[in-house]
């Protein structure tokens, strides 16, 4: 009995000592990273941990060729698409996916898998794959110490998801269809009370669409806001693009007249410059 009480007392002392230890915060060997990149009409999220070489060889050694890899360290790497995208012509619905890869010297396989809760690839189930596509790696001149997963070559409707580590880089092209989404938004918005006249006209201008409806929207905007110089500026810009230089000059001059009353030096100076560009493009005499 006495011996048992001594053991119990010793155990309590050890437990108390363990609880009293100071918690240390130490640098992680593979720091976690979260990236949210604006893309198309929404975003792409990347959540992963970044391993480093630390004197090792990454592919064919630390990461065996031909085996499913978590594309990072620690828990599974995740990618979330804020809207429907296409990868290698295959449709991927908006949502979150585990991003896995099968590295190899001549060809990689990118995998999107539904199980975003798995740790590493220990419980990976191919039956839950949403997508499998091939990609060719390129060899880098110098080794990159820490793995990175980034979004590069960003355009309104496309981007490359790029894996870089050691002497290897491989890209996965992603394609969106923002025009379908934006045109649907414009159609709905123009049925409402607060119509986005200027933004819709800008979109038509920037995407090379027929400017006739856009000019109609700007006329409605100007009728409701006759002292707003931005409406006349954009009308001049669109008219100049249509080759209607005389009308473009009139609109730009009206904008310049109205902008004089703007007490904000920055916006006033900027719109003077912008309207002068329209006038120059339209061939106005100085």
pLDDT tens for 158-184 read 999 999 999 999 999 999 999 999 999
Q: pLDDT per position in the chain (286 positions), as tens?
A: 545 445 444 554 445 555 668 889 999 999 999 999 999 999 999 999 999 999 999 999 999 999 999 999 999 999 999 999 999 999 999 999 999 999 999 999 999 999 999 988 888 999 999 999 999 999 999 999 999 999 999 999 999 999 999 999 999 999 999 999 999 999 999 999 999 999 999 999 999 999 999 999 999 999 999 999 999 999 999 999 999 999 999 999 999 999 999 899 999 999 999 999 999 999 988 7
- Give the DSSP letter of residue 59: B
pLDDT recorded at residue 120: 86
CATH topology of domain 179-281: 1.25.40
Q: Which residues pair with 164 in a beta bridge?
A: 148, 169
pLDDT recorded at residue 21: 82
pLDDT digits (tens, 9 = 90+) for 251-260: 999 999 999 9
Give the Cα-Cα-Cα angle 120, 122, 124 (nearest 5 degrees). 90
Longest Cα–Cα distance of the chain, Å, equals: 109
Q: Which residues pair with 98 in a beta bridge?
A: 78, 113
Task: Give the contacts of 203 (CB within 8 A, at least 6 positions apart).
Answer: 182, 186, 209
pTM: 0.83
Q: CATH 1.25.40.10 residue ranges in the chain?
A: 179-281
Contact (Cβ atoms closer than 8 angstroms) between residue 205 and residue 228? no
pLDDT recorded at residue 285: 81
Count each helix (H run) and each strand (E run) in the chain, helices first: 7, 10
Measured CA distances, 146 to 46, 60, 62, 111, 188 (Å)? 16, 17, 13, 22, 46
pLDDT recorded at residue 20: 67
Q: How many CB atoms lie within 10 A of CB 51?
A: 21
Q: How many CB atoms lie within 10 A of CB 223?
A: 9
- Give the DSSP letter of residue 63: B
pLDDT recorded at residue 11: 52
* Best CA proximity match to 281, nearest among 240, 252, 242: 240
Dihedral of CA 71/72/76/82: which sign? negative
Spatial separation of the C-alpha atoms in residues 179 and 169, rounded to whole Å: 31
């Amino acid at each position: 009995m006495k011996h048992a009480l001594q053991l119990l007392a010793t155990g309590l002392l050890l437990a108390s000592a363990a609880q009293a230890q100071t918690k240390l915060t130490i640098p992680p060997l593979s720091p976690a990273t979260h990236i949210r990149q604006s893309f198309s009409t929404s975003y792409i999220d990347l959540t992963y941990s970044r391993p480093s070489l630390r004197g090792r060889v990454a592919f064919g050694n630390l990461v065996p060729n031909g085996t499913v890899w978590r594309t990072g360290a620690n828990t599974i790497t995740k990618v979330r698409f804020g809207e429907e995208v296409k990868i290698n012509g295959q449709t991927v619905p908006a949502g979150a996916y585990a991003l896995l890869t099968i590295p190899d010297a001549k060809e990689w396989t990118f995998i999107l898998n539904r199980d975003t809760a798995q740790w590493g690839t220990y419980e990976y189930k191919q039956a839950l794959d949403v997508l499998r596509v091939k990609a060719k790696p390129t060899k880098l001149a110098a080794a990159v110490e820490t793995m990175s997963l980034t979004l590069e070559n960003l355009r309104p409707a496309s981007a490359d998801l790029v894996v870089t580590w050691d002497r290897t880089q491989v890209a996965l092209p992603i394609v969106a269809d923002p025009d379908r989404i934006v045109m649907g938004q414009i159609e709905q918005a123009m049925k409402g009370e607060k119509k986005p006249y200027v933004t819709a006209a800008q979109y038509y201008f920037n995407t090379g669409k027929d400017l006739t409806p856009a000019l109609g929207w700007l006329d409605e905007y100007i009728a409701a806001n006759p002292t707003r110089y931005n409406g006349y500026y954009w009308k001049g810009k669109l008219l100049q693009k249509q080759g209607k230089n005389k009308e473009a000059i009139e609109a730009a001059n009206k904008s310049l007249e109205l902008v004089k009353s703007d007490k904000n030096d920055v916006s006033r100076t900027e719109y003077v410059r912008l309207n002068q560009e329209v006038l120059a493009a339209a061939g106005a005499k100085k």
